[in-house]
Amino acid sequence: MPRIVADTNIYISALNFAGSADKVLALGRAGLIEICISPAILDEIGGVLARKFRWSATRVREARSAISGFTVAVHPREPVSVILEDEADNRILECALTAGADAIVTGDHHLLQLRHFRGVRITSPREYLDAGGRR
């Protein structure tokens, strides 16, 4: 089964706007792909929903619980410091390495500029879906 790491912006976009990001997560909810997540990514999602979108603590807890229900938690042990412009992007790379992910799906330009990282393909949600959403 294909294994991916979805960047924080994929969850935020899916929860607030639907579109391609939600279609990627729907593949995980349907059990067609495995989506891996780390505690750091889950924390960032909660923080962004609360700060930028003014979600209540209850709503953030419910979103975190829903995400945890269809993702696989991994616990990165190897720190990565590749993206200096946005340190949080390195948490995505760490998660992908630990998970043995086939791809990182993101809308973040810092990550997309890399295209690949240690054998992990980095792609946008649209590109991932256009490639069949399975690789």
What amino acid is encoded at 54 in this protein? Answer: R
User: Residue 135's pLDDT band (boundaries 50, 70, 90)?
Assistant: low
Whether 38 contacts 98, CB under 8 Å: yes
The dihedral formed by the CA atoms of 38, 44, 46 and 52, expressed in degrees to the nearest 10: -160
Listed by start position, the domains of the chain span: 3-130
- C-alpha to C-alpha distance for 71 and 76, rounded to whole angstroms: 15
- Pairing label, strands 116-117, 120-123: antiparallel
User: Residue 133's pLDDT band (boundaries 50, 70, 90)?
Assistant: confident
pLDDT in tens, 72-112: 999 999 999 999 999 999 999 999 999 999 999 999 999 99
Look-up of token digits 């792609």: 123
Whether 99 contacts 72, CB under 8 Å: yes
State residue 32's pLDDT score: 96
Question: How many C-beta atoms lie closer than 10 Å to residue 123's C-beta?
Answer: 22
pLDDT in tens, 16-58: 998 999 999 999 999 999 999 999 999 999 999 999 999 999 9
pTM of the model: 0.96
State residue 18's pLDDT score: 84
The dihedral formed by the CA atoms of 121, 21, 132 and 92, expressed in degrees to the nearest 10: 20
Pick the CATH number of 3-130 from 3.40.50.1010, 3.40.50.300, 3.90.1150.10, 3.40.50.800: 3.40.50.1010
